[in-house]
Copies of this chain bind each other. A is one copy, B any other.
Amino acid sequence: SRTLSLAVIPGDGIGQEVVAEGLKVLAAALPSDVKLETKSFDFGAKRYHATGETLTEDDLTQLKEHDAILLGAIGDPSVPSGVLERGFLLKLRFAFDHHVNLRPSRLFPGVATPLAGSPDIDFVVVREGTEGPYTGNGGSIRTGTPHEVATEVSLNTAFGIERVVRDAYARAQARPRKKLTLVHKNNVLVHAGHLWTNIFNKVGEEFPDVTTDYLHVDAATIFLVTDPARFDVIVTDNLFGDIITDLAAAVSGGIGIAASGNINPSGDFPSMFEPVHGSAPDIAGQSKADPTATILSVALLLQHLGYADEAARVEKAVHADLAERTAPRSTVEVGDALAARVAG
């Protein structure tokens, strides 16, 4: 019999609640000969306040022992902005080299969108996860004085861009429309932009059946609201990916149902799956949070670990459930309903 060893990080706020439902659905989806072993980790605001720690070397060693990581949400207003983001979320992405940040957007039937006319939305953003302006290469001088100067340095390497661009081409090739859009701002950020553009064009020669185009990030936000159906796969830089995936989530039903994976395709480190939404402290503990984003993240996890049929079953269950959803339900009710559909 096989084993799936999963590190579980419920985190802060609604994290605990949504992760519980994600695990329920995961258990229901896994083949009966797979033993699910979970180990829970207490990262987040509580531990930070108690110990001052966000993520230690020992934590990383322990996390590394697992096949994958499921995360709820990390973040709380009691912690200064940046501490848990840089000290936990980004530290983990960099430590485990999660260079493919995968964020699918799909407007399921029955789901409300802020867009008129409910367009046909089914695309995926492949966001670079370990470079760009996220590397923490900034600083300041004369800090706190009227003469302060602060910098943020975007670091971009041919190595780092090529691997994520190739991953995106492969994903585009595996989809029916086989279309890949590069999003950047190469008319202003000319050095990083030209590096991205050149590699995008060069790697494209290996994928002659993939149609490509290029959009500046500002223009991409326009199309995401006027013609989201034009997108199939998008590949982009870390910061642009952060921005457009929140917008993509908003137009395709909200961050309540947006899933994501922080993936290391090499398998040298476990990949991590998490909803795009945050810890939502305002509704925490009230069983109001929608666990669907976490459950769709579980589908990405299953897919990543090679359980493609099981991933499809989870997605199908979500699809059917959303189409029939009417009255608001509690976090647990949604999880139960989805687990039942997956098991049935």
Q: Interface code A85-102, partner B: CB below 8 Å = 1, 0 otherwise?
A: 110001000000000000
> B156 and A153: CB pair below 8 A?
no
Residues in B neighbouring A247, C-beta threshold 8 A: 218, 221-222, 224-225, 247
Given A115-B116, A154-B151, do A185 and B226 touch, yes or no (CB 8 Å)?
no
CA distance A330 to B81 in the complex (A): 51
Within the complex, the shortest CB–CB distance from A270 to chain B, in Å, comes to: 23
Residues in B neighbouring A113, C-beta threshold 8 A: 116
> B195 and A140: CB pair below 8 A?
yes
* Chain A interface residue bracket vs B: 35 or more
Partner of A148, one of B86, B114, B138, B195: B195
Residues in B neighbouring A146, C-beta threshold 8 A: 158-159, 162
> A246 and B221: CB pair below 8 A?
yes
CB of A9 within 8 A of chain B? no
Q: Interface code A104-141, partner B: CB below 8 Å = 1, 0 otherwise?
A: 00000000011111000000000000000110101110
18 extra A-B contacts, CB within 8 A, seeds A115-B116, A243-B243 = A81-B190, A82-B188, A85-B188, A139-B191, A149-B157, A151-B153, A152-B154, A152-B189, A153-B154, A185-B242, A217-B242, A218-B242, A218-B247, A221-B221, A221-B243, A221-B244, A226-B254, A247-B247
Q: Residues of A at under 8 Å CB distance from B? A: 81-82, 85-86, 90, 113-117, 133-134, 136, 138-140, 142, 144-159, 162, 185-195, 197-198, 217-219, 221-222, 224-226, 239, 242-247, 249-251, 254-255
A-B contact pairs, 15 of them (CB 8 A): A81-B186, A81-B187, A82-B194, A115-B115, A133-B152, A133-B154, A136-B190, A147-B158, A147-B159, A148-B158, A148-B195, A152-B191, A152-B192, A221-B247, A222-B250
